[in-house]
A and B are shown apart, each in its own frame.
Chain A
Amino acid sequence: MKWWGLPAKVWMTCFILLPFVWLVVLSLQTSYTASPPTKLDFHQFNRALTHPYRGIIRDSLLMSFAAALAVLMISVPVTWLISRLPRAKRNLWLAFFTIPLGLNFVVRIYAWFVLLRPEGLLTVFLGRFGFAIPLVSSQFGVFLGLVYGYLPVIFLPLYSVFERLENSHIEAAQDLGASSWQRWRDVIIPETQSGLLASFLFVFVPMLGEYLIPRMIGGGLVATLGTQIESQFLGSGRPNWPFGAALSICLLLSAACILVICFKILSRSTAERQTGWSISHIV
């Protein structure tokens, strides 16, 4: 490593490693008042993994997973189409879809909240068709909010994944007799799967820690991991930093677990594709 690697090392140590160590130490304390820590134990983790927090963690994982999947499903066709446009037209469309990123997040979510209110446009509209579902202060509302909030975020990474896919590969598949969905199943998805997974995680992980959307749309009635952590640190009631730290570490670990699982599945499916079908017949 040359000397210019030094700033990065210093940065990593000061702003990532040390705070993380501090977080771990914090989470092992019985109460915030005892400082410096006298006794370290797993009391906070015990609490985090029992009722009601265990349910909250599970629900947060499920909801973030579902919302990230929905974001992916919505953005894949759109970014795909944009990536296949003539170069000159691509940037315009891309700008259209990423302009929301330039707007304040709170403003965007509030605008969405206005639509979701009982007297909001979307609720009234859905009610006309017999779908009278409460969209604020509900899990579903928070889900919609997450999807809306993170759509512009996934756009650029996903676009760059598809943009790199060579048209000739798709044409080759078509030339060899692959129908439209066979091209997706056998060429487009397998060739871009690592990029798709990275884009998915790119929205899934921040969704897991999201507290603004559950706060504003959930109206305090939908408890998520993010809101719990926030209230432990900044809450108006009795802040409990050690417990907040423990919850944060739970969030971090579950995100890491999912990351590892995803990559395991991915590398196994790639290995299978490379050799699975053919190895026994040839050798």
Chain B
Amino acid sequence: MNESLLTLQEISAALNGRAVLKEVSFDVKQGEFFSLLGPSGCGKTTLLRIIAGFLTSHSGKLLWSGTDITHLPPQSRDLNLVFQNYALFPHLNVFENVAFGLRMMKLDERIIIERVKESLALVRMSEHALRRVTELSGGQQQRIALARAVAPRPKLVLLDEPLGALDLQLRRDMQVELKSLQRQLGMTFLYVTHDQEEAFSMSDRIAILNSGQLEQVDAPEVLYSLPASRFVAKFIGNANFIPVERTALATARCLASQQEYSLNMANTSLANSASNSASNANNILGDVLVRPEQVELVSTPLTNQTNSLSGTIQLRQFLGANVRYHLELEGPERRMMIVDQPSTQQTICQPGEKVLMRLPKSPLPFFPADSAQ
């Protein structure tokens, strides 16, 4: 599980003179479900094509269990790609589509039949073996594309937004199915998507890419609670930033309420920031990150509460499991905040009401003001 299968070393690429990847490095470990997440145009598709071998990186190396495969052609790489548009062969039926990779390996006919049956059973498409692929629905085509990719039993399966064309319900079902399939096969999956919910629901680890640069590689839980940058914080879930002044290494004072907060020092952006090494005593302006569900609303406005802020409710949205409040913070900046309260909670606040927001006692991630965005 901890053996690294694929290693990217400072991969850079340019398309038409424009840099699309800037020294991207990460490791994909044997047997993990790894996602490449980023907004459209962040370079994730380019990176995927480099890994598959359809593009060559400008500089940097691609290692496969330690051996250099940077210049290996796609047909010689022990990985298969599930294409975004499935790219099934319209002139072949379902069986022959799945058998394609096996035929290229020149396996014995008996083994081919065995493996195709097995792969079709995995995606629950056995009864469609003799149909034309053009007769299948989008979801069925998606399964065949997956079966075709896993049939030759590659070490790594690349998936290029394979659920993008499916409707929401089917997409959710397929997420569960993909994940259990990956467990069952014990194969390494590298999944490319722009949908953070999709990446979160399946991945062991996620690499976040932003305009060609790698922002962070971590488990979903870590990405959510300890984002390395403001971009990651905003891209994953809803993020509230509260302006503070850092007074000591692990404390900050809220500019609006003059209250002290404890800071999370595990936060990498702070640990790496140049100002950190310069002087700990110097006060640094910045923001702390608070997730919407970390806040507790108290409708009776009391002053002098610890770790709390006051604000006015602007909007209330009922979201099923949660009620979402949009609040305006008291203070010169009038910042907006999003607060989620479980809908099982009895107290219901109305727009216009003045409330107190009680922030968590646990340490909060801090982002210095000079770390752009």
| Contact indicator A177/B95 (Cβ below 8 Å) | no
Quick one: which of A178, A179, A274 has the most chain B CB within 10 A?
A274
- Alpha-carbon distance between A21 and B88 when the two chains are bound, in angstroms: 48
Chain B residues with CB under 8 Å of A282's CB are 95, 113, 117, 129-130
Q: CA separation between A283 and B74, bound complex, in Å?
A: 34
Q: Cβ of B101: which chain A residues have Cβ within 8 Å of it?
A: 176-177
Interface positions of B from 81 to 96, Cβ below 8 Å from A = 81, 83, 85, 87-93, 95-96
Q: Hey, which chain B residues are within 8 Å of A173, CB to CB?
A: 89, 100
Q: Please determine whether B75 and A178 come into contact, CB atoms closer than 8 angstroms.
A: yes
- Shortest distance between the CB of A171 and any CB in chain B (Å): 6
Cross-interface CB contact of B90 among A175, A177, A182, A191, cutoff 8 Å: A191
Q: How far is the CA of A245 from the CA of B76 in the complex (A)?
A: 61
B295 vs chain A, min Cβ distance (A) = 46
Assess whether B46 is interfacial by the CB under 8 Å rule: no
Query: Is the Cβ of B91 less than 8 Å from the Cβ of A190?
Result: yes
Question: Does B52 lie at the interface of the complex (its beta carbon under 8 Å from any beta carbon of A)?
Answer: yes
Q: Are B81 and A172 in contact (CB under 8 A)?
A: yes
Q: Which residues of B contact A278 (CB under 8 A)?
A: 93, 95-96, 99, 113, 116, 129-130
Among B80, B88, B100, which residue has its beta carbon within 8 angstroms of that of A186? B100
Q: Report the minimum CB–CB distance from A100 to chain B (whole Å).
A: 33
Main secondary structure of the interface of A (DSSP, over half): helix
Contacts of A177 in B (CB 8 A): 75-76, 101, 104-105, 152
Within 8 A of A (CB), among B134-149: 148
Known contacts: A182-B104, A278-B96, A278-B129. The answer to whether A175 contacts B81 by CB under 8 A is: yes
Q: Is the interface of B mostly helix, strand, loop or mixed?
A: mixed
Query: Nearest chain A CB to B78's CB is how many angstroms away?
Result: 9
Q: Which of B80, B85, B117 contacts A175 (CB 8 A)?
A: B80
Chain A neighbourhood of B132, CB < 8 A = 274
Q: Are B89 and A172 in contact (CB under 8 A)?
A: yes
B96 adjacent to A172 (CB under 8 Å): no
Query: Which A residues are in CB contact (< 8 Å) with B93?
Result: 273-275, 278
Residue of B83, B103, B113 touching A172 (CB-CB under 8 A): B83
**Residues of chain A lying within 8 A (CB to CB) of residue B88:** 172
Q: Does A41 count as interface, using CB distance less than 8 angstroms?
A: no
Residue A50 CB within 8 A of the other chain: no
B80 adjacent to A176 (CB under 8 Å)? yes
Instruction: Give every chain A residue within 8 A of B95 (Cβ-Cβ).
Output: 277-278, 282
Among B53, B81, B87, the most chain A Cβ lie within 10 Å of the Cβ of B87
Chain A residues lying within 8 Å of B100, measured Cβ to Cβ, are 173, 176, 178, 186
Quick check: A273 and B91 within 8 Å, CB to CB? yes
Taken together as a complex, chains A and B put the C-alpha atoms of A182 and B88 apart, in Å, by: 16
CB of B54 within 8 Å of the partner chain: yes
Interface residues of A in 157-173 (CB under 8 A from B): 166, 168-169, 171-173
The interface residues of chain A lying within 8 Å CB-to-CB of B89 are: 169, 172-173, 187, 190-191
Q: Is the CB of A172 within 8 A of B87?
A: yes
When C-beta atoms are compared, the residue in chain A nearest to B113 turns out to be A281
Interface bits A254-283 vs B (CB < 8 Å: 1, else 0): 000000000000000010011101110111
A46: interface (CB < 8 Å): no
Determine whether the beta carbon of A171 is less than 8 Å from that of B104: no
A91 proximal to B (CB < 8 A):
no
Check if A13 is an interface residue, CB within 8 A of chain B: no
**In contact, A171 and B74 (Cβ under 8 angstroms):** yes
**Bound complex: CA A187 to CA B152 (Å):** 18
Residues B152 and A176 in contact, CB atoms below 8 Å apart: yes
| 25 A-B residue pairings within 8 Å (CB atoms) | A166-B87, A169-B87, A171-B54, A172-B88, A174-B54, A175-B52, A175-B74, A175-B75, A176-B148, A177-B152, A178-B104, A179-B75, A182-B104, A187-B89, A190-B89, A273-B92, A273-B93, A274-B92, A274-B96, A274-B132, A275-B93, A277-B96, A278-B93, A278-B96, A281-B113
Question: Which A residues fall within an 8 A CB radius of B?
Answer: 166, 168-169, 171-179, 182, 186-187, 190-191, 270, 273-275, 277-279, 281-283
17 further interface pairs, Cβ-Cβ under 8 Å (given A169-B87, A175-B52): A172-B83, A172-B89, A173-B89, A173-B100, A175-B81, A176-B80, A176-B148, A178-B100, A190-B91, A273-B92, A273-B96, A274-B91, A274-B93, A277-B95, A278-B99, A278-B129, A282-B130
List of 5 A-B pairs having minimum Cβ-Cβ separation, nearest first = A176-B101, A177-B104, A168-B87, A278-B95, A172-B87
